[in-house]
Amino acid sequence: MHMSRMVALATALTVGIAAPALAQDKLVRVWHTETEPQTIKAFNDLARRFEAKNPGIKIEAEGLAWTDLEGKIMASLAAGSPPELSHGQPITCTALQSKDLLNPLDEVVKAIGEDNIWEQVKRVCNVGGKQFGLVHAAGTSLLIYRKDMADKAGLKPPKTWNDFLANAKALTQSTKGDGKIDIYGITLPGDNLFINILMGELIKSNGGALFDKNNKPLFTDQKMIEVLEFWRELVKYAPPGWEGDGYLQTFQNLYGQKAAMMFQGYGRGAGLIEKFAPKEKANDKTFDVWSKPVGPSGKEPGVQVDEEPWMLFKDAKHQKEAIEFLKFFYQDDNYLEYVSTVPIHLFPITKSLRASPKYQNLEMIQRWKGWIEVQQGYLDKDQGKPTLVVDWSDMTEKPYLLEVLGSGIVRDMVMDVVLEKWEPKRAADKAQRRLEDLLRSKGYLKG
């Protein structure tokens, strides 16, 4: 899910900057999900340098809003004209690989050095020992909170969902003393993508799973019922109309001081806080992060890791040139220029860059060190998984997760509970039936 994509800057504007290709040039089309202007600029600068070193090759890069990307990939495949390279969610990569539409990027892995890539990253879209997706950069979801308010109220880091609900209640306040709530305990995104991300996270944190080994949905399981009960309580402390909020709006609620905690935050938010929060509050003394809490049936937190892999399309024309471009992209100096445009979110996948003083001494990393450390902790303990992935084996054994995401069934279940006021069991029964029908119709579920 790239936040970037989410950040989709509401306008879903696509920015493609490329010098006009000459007839004899080999054109490499690249679609990525970074829509922040500074990242688009860095990527295009990098492409121009590559072209200068490799006459006869043109890189045409397009930064796409996340919401547009999957549809655009599918349309390009249907038309028989996919780009050479594109970002996609890990579950997109798995879905396309299972349909034999991708070529491996092992040559790029070799150029970077297999031992130079973080282990966690190598698990994404690795099928039969071949790397069919190579993560462009990684970042995990974060629980961001108003440290100043929490300190004033004497709140402790929440270890369990119940602790977290107690904190949300304590932080829901009428600060003007007129009895009207003007700051809510929690801000949550209500769109389909984010509710799916959050549900994957919550079921992991509650020691459960979404599907069993035979692809049977586990939505009526007690662990899922507990997740739905948690949702029902949590929304009591969210601003009215939260279900219409996209990712960006949830951040506006946080830095605009309408909400005191954000359950689905990311490192990218540090840049938004520095840009938009009042100067004296735009720091980690005001906005800090807690480790995410654990459900009643769980043992450790589960978080989403935001890490789109590059994918190389089998039917694209200039694959060799695309591979050369990726090798260039991951060279330390070039790669540093890219990740340092959003340093608290775009974690480098290479150990060499991560260990380099040039990277570690970036001013912004110094300013938001705690945010980096919490993400690093999740990654080191293997608590971060891609959207809807609970276990790494899901990546290859459950190629239908993208279809589950697209179906909207998971979001409908949550909305049945929190808006329609259904009992969790009734909502779960309905989702269970719908998912069984979906997986049967696609041939994944027998009987």
**DSSP secondary structure letters along 334-383:** HHHHHHTTSTTT-B-SBHHHHH-HHHHT-HHHHHTHHHHHHHHHHHHTT-
Report the DSSP beta bridge partners of residue 87. 310
Q: Which domains does the chain have, with CATH numbers?
A: 3-138+307-367 (3.40.190.10), 141-303+393-441 (3.40.190.10)
Residue closest to 64 by CA, chosen among 134, 135, 13? 13
The three-state secondary structure class of 28 is: strand
**Residue corresponding to tokens 């001081």:** 257
173-181: long-range pairs with CB below 8 Å, 24+: 173/149, 173/260
Q: What are phi and psi of 266, to 5 degrees?
A: -145, 165
365 in Cβ contact with 381 (< 8 Å): no
Give the per-residue pLDDT at 230.
98
Give the per-residue pLDDT at 13.
37
Q: How many residues does the chain have?
A: 447
Residue closest to 80 by CA, chosen among 319, 313, 402? 313
187 in Cβ contact with 168 (< 8 Å): no
Report the DSSP beta bridge partners of residue 294. 160
Give the per-residue pLDDT at 276.
95
Walk along the chain (447 residues) in steps of 10 and give the mean pLDDT of each run.
41 43 80 92 97 97 83 92 95 94 98 96 95 97 98 98 98 92 96 95 98 97 98 98 94 96 96 95 97 98 96 97 98 96 95 94 95 94 95 93 95 98 98 98 91
Give the per-residue pLDDT at 35.
86
Give the per-residue pLDDT at 23.
57
HSE (CB half, 13 Å, CA atoms) of 167? 29
Give the per-residue pLDDT at 70.
82
Q: What's the CA gap between 154 and 354, in Å, rounded?
A: 36
DSSP 114: G
199 in Cβ contact with 206 (< 8 Å): no
Give the per-residue pLDDT at 8.
39
346 in Cβ contact with 339 (< 8 Å): yes
The three-state secondary structure class of 61 is: strand
CA atoms 8, 131, 120, 326: torsion sign: negative
User: Which amino acid is it at 32?
Assistant: H
